[in-house]
Structure 1
Amino acid sequence: MTDNVTNAKAADLALHALVWTLAEPARAERLLATTGLDADGLRARIGEPALLAAVLGFLEAHEPDLIAAAEAVEASPADLVAARRALEAAA
């Protein structure tokens, strides 16, 4: 992924990273606690660029998670960072 990330590609990558994040209960709880969302709030805002950027920011805040998520979604950590930036710009 280049710096010229489209919003659609960024959102797709963020959604895949969110699925990875939610697959592990302790990590999912940490995401909800960090963002202040509950499961219903997460579902209600799932398509919002700001929420998707927050998910990627959550992963960036803990490098082992960022690296593992990138590997799981077949991207580089830099791709996830670029996607967060694109989503923040779109929010």
Structure 2
Amino acid sequence: MALHALAWVASDDRLGPRLLALTGLDASTLRARAGSAEILGATLDFLAAHEADFIACAEAIGTEPARLASARGMLGQ
């Protein structure tokens, strides 16, 4: 689920570049580390910082916002 959220963010013309800017990663590093708990957790934290984006992502990937929030908890800190 978190990987789907990352793909959704990365494909968005507004959110993708912002995620890269805030994490300090470049696109190739993000792709290489996309499956890591650190990157997935950072992506969900990024989305959670703006409720409208978080909800839009949940809808786009076909899940409930609560399940997406739960996924963040499962990834750890």
- Say whether the fold is shared (TM-score over 0.5): yes
TM-score by length of 1: 0.79
The corresponding residue for 1:31 is 19
Aligned to 1:3: none
2:64 is aligned with 1:76: yes
Count of residues in Structure 1 that have an aligned counterpart in Structure 2: 77
**Could you tell me which of 40, 45, 48 is aligned with 1:52?**
40
Counterpart for residue 28 of structure 2: 40
User: Match for 2:76: what amino acid?
Assistant: E
The runs of 5 or more residues in structure 1 that have no matched partner are 1-12
More displaced stretch, 80-89 vs 62-71: 80-89
Query: Identity across aligned pairs (percent)?
Result: 52
Structure 2: segments with no counterpart, 5+ residues: none
Give the match for residue 8 of structure 1.
none
AA aligned opposite 1:53 = G
Cα deviation code 1:40-70 (max 9, x no counterpart) = 1101211111111111111000111000000
The amino acid across from 2:63 in the alignment is: A
> Which structure: larger Rg?
1
Over 2 Å off, 4+ runs:
none
Q: Which has the higher contact order (CA 8 A, sep 6+)?
A: 1
